[in-house]
């Protein structure tokens, strides 16, 4: 009798595990509960900041723009052939990982730094995609403060968003300088920058790209300067959970496709011509496989054969996404720097589509 009771008690769990194990993408034989769920729902749910110009920002028309938002659109296009099939969830730094772990969002594309503790199974248990923006932590001060370097902030209050790598990095750097300071911690970015503009702190710290983005919305952008020091490495990287490797692979290789497209000179404007070229020339094996004319790359990922074509049509290649949102063609006017292609001395590099 005790054995029967134990078997009966474990039956719901066994059924649940069997259902998860049998979950398929519905076309390629890939075992992925998340892919099956997203496809059945008909939309991707993407966690973003929503208030960061150049990365994810919702306009007065309700439309999301930015580099992080474009990652969501490219992924939706790879899945459904339609970049508009995205529901966005604005998440602050404190709630983003819980939202991903609970399944509230399928993908986190929100200026998140890849770190060991976030990646590890014993930490946040995330599965990081390719880094989409290589950044570093900076510090911004009002010109009128007279602060010229990090050491000048000894004994002064500094605004920082809690639950971020910037909070810990600031503490480490000031410790190295043997400089006491007062960290003013806030739960959200809005609170952090509001306090800074109110003069409650002499400086604010975050990723240099975020500081530059937020400065564009200040009443007097020219009245604020980023200090020359770079306090840390901040590889900003989309993430899924490590509970579903097949879904993580689908996201990972969709982003790699955007990077590889730039390397091959494939753009939003010429993708149709490149596809026609691939179809017409059976000897262009690499191009034909990349664009899904032959081979099984899409099937292996649980995606349509032409997922690369759909993603590039939706957003352009990585270089186009960068330039439009944060590059010299945008309000932020950020140099590509480390975000150049590897052939140009940067860190943007896709493994082979082989």
Strand order in 64-65's β-sheet?
51-52, 56-58, 64-65
Where does CATH 3.40.190.10 sit in the chain?
32-132+237-354, 136-233
Query: What is residue 158's predicted lDDT score, i.e. its pLDDT?
Result: 98
Q: Which long-range contacts (CB under 8 A, 24 or more apart) does 56-59 make?
A: 56/88, 56/109, 56/110, 56/111, 58/88, 58/90
Give the pairing type, strands 64-65 and 56-58.
antiparallel
Tokens of 176: 């190295």
Q: State the architecture of 32-132+237-354 in CATH terms.
A: 3-Layer(aba) Sandwich (3.40)
Cβ-Cβ contacts under 8 Å for 29 (sequence gap 6 or more) = 299
Tokens of 244: 């579903």
Q: State how far the Cα of 271 lies from the Cα of 312, in Å rounded to an integer.
A: 7
How would you write the pLDDT of the chain (354 residues) with one tens digit per residue? 343 343 333 333 333 333 334 445 544 567 899 999 999 999 999 999 999 999 999 999 999 999 999 999 999 999 999 999 999 999 998 899 999 999 999 999 999 999 999 999 999 999 999 999 999 999 999 999 999 999 999 999 999 998 888 999 999 999 999 999 999 999 998 999 999 999 999 999 999 999 999 999 999 999 999 999 999 999 999 999 999 999 999 999 999 999 999 999 999 999 999 999 999 999 999 999 999 999 999 999 999 999 999 999 999 999 999 999 999 999 999 999 999 999 999 999 999 999
Query: What is residue 26's predicted lDDT score, i.e. its pLDDT?
Result: 45
Query: What is residue 234's predicted lDDT score, i.e. its pLDDT?
Result: 95
Residue 348 has φ and ψ, to the nearest 5°, of -80, 115
The CATH classification number of 136-233 equals 3.40.190.10
Q: State how far the Cα of 325 lies from the Cα of 199, in Å rounded to an integer.
A: 30
Strand order in 224-226's β-sheet?
182-186, 157-161, 203-207, 137-142, 224-226
pTM: 0.88
Q: Which of 47, 23, 40 is nearest to 239 (CA)?
A: 47
Contact by Cβ (8 Å): 41, 312: no
Q: State how far the Cα of 260 lies from the Cα of 352, in Å rounded to an integer.
A: 9
Cβ-Cβ contacts under 8 Å for 98 (sequence gap 6 or more) = 104
Q: How many CA atoms lie within 13 A of 266 on its CB side?
A: 26
Query: What is residue 163's predicted lDDT score, i.e. its pLDDT?
Result: 84
Query: What is residue 29's predicted lDDT score, i.e. its pLDDT?
Result: 62
Query: What is residue 24's predicted lDDT score, i.e. its pLDDT?
Result: 54
């Amino acid at each position: 009798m005790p054995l029967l009771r134990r078997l009966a008690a474990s039956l719901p769990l066994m059924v649940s595990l069997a259902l998860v194990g049998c979950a398929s993408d519905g076309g390629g034989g890939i075992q992925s509960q998340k892919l099956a769920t997203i496809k059945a729902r008909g939309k991707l749910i993407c966690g973003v900041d929503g208030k960061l110009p150049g990365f994810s920002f919702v306009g007065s028309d309700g439309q999301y723009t930015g580099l992080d938002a474009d990652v969501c659109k490219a992924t939706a296009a790879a899945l459904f052939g339609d970049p508009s099939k995205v529901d966005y969830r604005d998440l602050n730094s404190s709630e983003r990982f819980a939202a991903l772990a609970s399944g509230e969002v399928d993908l986190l594309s929100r200026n998140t730094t890849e770190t060991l503790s976030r990646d590890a199974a014993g930490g946040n248990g995330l599965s990081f995609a390719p880094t989409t923006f290589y950044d570093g932590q900076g510090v911004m001060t009002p010109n009128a403060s007279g602060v010229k370097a990090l050491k000048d902030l000894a004994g002064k209050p500094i605004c920082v968003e809690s639950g971020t790598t910037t909070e810990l990095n600031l503490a480490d750097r000031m410790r190295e300088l043997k400089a006491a300071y007062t960290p003013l911690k806030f739960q959200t970015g809005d609170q952090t920058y509001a306090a800074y503009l109110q003069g409650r702190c002499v400086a604010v710290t975050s990723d240099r790209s975020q500081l530059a983005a937020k400065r564009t919305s200040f009443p007097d952008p020219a009245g604020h300067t980023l200090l020359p020091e770079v306090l840390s490495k901040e590889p900003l990287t989309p993430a899924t959970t490590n509970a579903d490797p097949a879904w993580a692979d689908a996201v990972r290789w969709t982003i790699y496709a955007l990077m590889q497209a730039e390397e091959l000179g494939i753009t939003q404007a010429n993708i149709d011509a490149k596809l026609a070229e691939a179809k017409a020339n059976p000897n262009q094996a690499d191009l034909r496989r990349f664009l899904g004319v032959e081979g099984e790359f899409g099937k292996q990922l649980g995606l349509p054969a032409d997922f690369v074509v759909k993603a590039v049509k939706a957003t352009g290649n990585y270089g186009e996404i960068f330039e439009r949102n944060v590059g010299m063609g945008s309000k932020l006017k950020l140099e590509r720097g480390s975000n150049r292609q590897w052939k140009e001395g940067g860190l943007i590099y896709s493994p082979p589509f082989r």
